[in-house]
Chain A
Amino acid sequence: MKQKSLFTLLFITQLIFANDSNVSCEKADTFFPYKAGVIAEKSSEVKAFAIYCNLALKGDYRSQNKLARYYFTGIPNELEPDKISAYVWSKLSISVIKSKKKEAFFKNMKNQLSESEILDAETLFKLIINTIPSGYRIDGQYKPLDLSDFLNQQQNQIKTGTRIKTKKSIRALNSINLP
């Protein structure tokens, strides 16, 4: 149910943000990290936009800022500039992680909007901030960790006096990433 409402909202945001352009934020099946977006920028801004868009919807604040810049300037023949969308993504990108550079960009953009545009953008921002997270750095996909392996390893420990010997030394540890 929660997932359904999220997809409905994503659909609404896509409708709002697509704005008669050839570029839209489509949900991709394949995962691309932020680095892929930076590399794609050099060859195809449309591909970079799609990668950033997917990461931005998952809460990557750097991608949200990149998206804001794309909406602000537009992509020639592909994406019309949309200052309201740029305002929303930019404000979202600095809502958790503070950055003077990103805040300066937001302020500069805000100065170019009329009062009614700011009001519209703020209404949209209130809707977005409750549905799209921010403040993450999405640079990889982490598999859930099965701690039973470690439990087995610990059970295999042989205690001899003050020294603890393991049948297999733990040299390469697993890592987990929590948002």
Chain B
Amino acid sequence: MLELLNDQLIKSAKMKTCIYFVILLVVLSGCQNNNFIKNNSRAAPLDDNEGYLGMVFNSLDPLSNIEIVNSTTAKSFYIGGANKGTSLKLLNLVEGEYCLHGFDVYNLRVDFKGEGFCTYIEPGELNYFNTFIVRDPVTVAMSDFNGFVKMMANQHSNICLEYIGEKCNQ
């Protein structure tokens, strides 16, 4: 009798653990940014009001918690970090104006004055924002479209061919 009770207690404890684990997974998947496109992944087709936002970071230090803000809805998107050197970030976003608001460098939070760097995302397009040269004490935004296309061709060849075209094969 005692053994049976003990078995039931163990079973219920196991069930509880499983339920907590499932809840944890659900919470964690909610925290994941669905707008971020992983390298060479087959991205879902864009909706009519969506466009891609591509940007390059050139930094001497690793960056984390890069924050993009939709200036109309004030919704923040944390798109992860960027390693030391040059990194490409690609997101799919709803049409509108978005601003690069800030990021963390080591344990220092950098927030740009005002809204930061802003651009308008055109729907149905691969919008190249800029190449951000992150240096202490300023960040400079420069347009290097050829460099961006090379990185796109390496890391997101399908999207590159679909939205930029032949230049991705050069």
Residues of A within 8 A of B (CB): 33-35, 38, 62, 96-101, 103, 135-137, 139-140, 145, 147, 150, 153-154, 169-179
Contact = CB atoms under 8 A, between A and B. Distances in A.
Contact of B120 (A100, A135, A139): A139
A97 B145 contact: yes
A175 B125 CA distance: 26
Given A100-B162, A137-B119, A139-B118, A174 B109 contact: no
Interface in B107-145: 108-113, 116-120, 122, 124-130, 137-143, 145
**A-B complex: 9 closest residue pairs judged by Cβ atoms:** A100-B165, A177-B141, A98-B167, A150-B137, A139-B119, A175-B112, A35-B120, A34-B120, A178-B142
Interface string B85-116: 00000000000010000000000111111001
Given A98-B167, A176-B140, A178-B140, 15 more contacts: A97-B145, A98-B149, A99-B125, A99-B126, A100-B163, A137-B120, A139-B118, A139-B119, A147-B138, A170-B137, A171-B109, A173-B110, A173-B111, A173-B112, A174-B138
Contacts of A171: 108-111
